[in-house]
Amino acid sequence: MSSAFKDRRNRRHCGVFRSFLYACAGINSALKNETNMKIHFFISFFVIGAGFFFSLSPVEWLFVLFAIGGMLSLELINTAIERAVDLVTKEEHPLAKEAKDIAAGAVLIYAVLSVAVGLIIFIPKLL
């Protein structure tokens, strides 16, 4: 194998590793700076603990994990949109407000769906 090929391959692997580091830095930044992200993260740990306590079935775990993963992902996307809009304009602009409100609306819809999933799964276990 030529050394040029090895160098290219190592850079590509290093780039993939670096992209994971950037992603972790983004998650860390949101956890430090965003109250809603902290709330979602805390609730996620509580729900996971409840899942172990109530011995959820594999299918129930799938629904719970997709609800948690989707919620955290949407909160990150919402935060990214807010940051990008704030970078473009500090002034109150109707389109900037609308972009932020729409992103927040997506989070709200998924939060309601996640609560519904949680109620469907956990209420029978409580009764």
Please list the active-site residues: 75
Contacts of 107 (CB under 8 A, 6+ apart): 36, 71, 74, 75, 78
Q: Is 34 labelled as part of a ligand binding site?
A: yes
What's the Cα-to-Cα distance from 11 to each of 5, 8, 21, 23, 67, rounded to whole Å?
Answer: 10, 5, 15, 18, 36
Q: Is 98 labelled as part of a ligand binding site?
A: no
Determine whether 30 is exposed, middle or buried from the number of CB atoms within 10 Å of its CB (0-12, 13-18, 19+): buried
Q: Is 82 labelled as part of a ligand binding site?
A: yes
Q: Is 60 labelled as part of a ligand binding site?
A: no
Cα gap 75→43, rounded to integer Å: 13
Q: What are phi and psi of 92, to 5 degrees?
A: -80, 115
Tell me the binding residues for a divalent metal cation.
34, 82
Q: Known binding site: residues?
A: 22, 34, 75, 82, 91-93, 100-101
Q: Which residues are annotated as a binding site for ATP?
A: 22, 34, 82, 91-93, 100-101
